[in-house]
Amino acid sequence: MVRTRRELAVFLSKLNVFTKPSFILEQYVSDSEVAAILLWKMMLNSEIEDRIIVDLGAGTGILGIGALLLGAKHVIFVDVDSKMKTEIEKNIEILNENWEIDVEGRWNFVCKDVKEFQLDEKIDKTEVIVLMNPPFGTRNKHLDKVFLEKAMELTHSIYTMHKTSTKVFIEALCRDNNLDIYWLEDTSFPIKNTMQQHTKKIERIEVSLFNLRKNN
């Protein structure tokens, strides 16, 4: 059992990251420290254990795998890039190697554009929590909004991260869609030099972590 947020972050740092990240898909590595903050808050809010977690834009699965480690009933990894299934499988192996927990049958991968993803009709939506590090919309404008709108269809509670510079936009979206900002924490997110257009070894950007909840 994970005892501290720091212990969680250390484990998440061991997971494999993108080998050939796509600029078009904005495949940036989720920082283990930032991911741990988001996951730990979910745990403290009793919104991981025995829940069905939908990891939208899962990438290599760092958030969803963290949720499995913290006791999620099931994790659905959703990503448009079919290659991510193999990357997630590799990281599930790392999870199994580091922790004595059985995750067989507790996760699945869905290769779909987030706009097309739908929950199985048999799933009880009251058990579903959405967890995501959506594209920040740097390459594809308003793609972060697409992710948020899909998340609102799927659940009553969303854990997400966005550029702090878009906080006013997030607040307006919440007002327009009967969402409350239940929790907000500002931090910084290191972007490593993984793409051709990057000029710095590491660039830190300001990000805000949110728990958004429906108020009706």
DSSP 147-183: HHHHHHHH-SEEEEEEEGGGHHHHHHHHHHTTEEEEE
**CA 6/CA 2 separation, integer angstroms:** 9
Lowest mean pLDDT among 7-21, 30-44, 133-147, 155-169: 133-147
Give me the amino acid identity at 4: T
Output b/e per residue, 70-84; b: 16+ Cβ within 10 A. Answer: bebebbbbbbbbeeb
Give the three-state DSSP class for 11: helix
Q: What structural domains does the chain harbor?
A: 5-11+26-214 (3.40.50.150)
Asked if residues 106 and 72 have their Cβ atoms less than 8 Å apart, the reply is yes
Considering the chain, what percentage of its residues have pLDDT values greater than 90?
76
pLDDT confidence of 72, banded at 50, 70, 90? very high
Asked if residues 76 and 53 have their Cβ atoms less than 8 Å apart, the reply is yes
- Give pLDDT, residue 195: 44
**CA 87/CA 156 separation, integer angstroms:** 29
Strands 202-214 and 179-192 come out as antiparallel
Indicate the pTM of the whole model. Answer: 0.91
Instruction: Count CB neighbours of 134 within 10 A.
Output: 20
* pLDDT, mean of residues 56-65: 95
Q: What are phi and psi of 192, to 5 degrees?
A: -80, 160
Q: H helices within the chain, ranges in order?
A: 5-12, 32-44, 62-69, 84-98, 143-154, 167-176
Give the three-state DSSP class for 74: strand
Considering the chain, what percentage of its residues have pLDDT values greater than 70?
87
User: Could you report the per-residue pLDDT of 118-147, keeping only the tens digit for each?
Assistant: 999 999 999 999 999 998 765 667 788 999
User: Could you report the per-residue pLDDT of 187-199, keeping only the tens digit for each?
Assistant: 998 766 554 444 4
Instruction: Count CB neighbours of 122 within 10 A.
Output: 5
Question: Would you mind telling me the total number of residues written for the chain in this entry?
Answer: 216
What spatial distance separates the first Cα and last Cα of the chain, rounded to whole Å? 35
- Give pLDDT, residue 197: 47
Does residue 27 surpass a pLDDT of 70? Answer: no
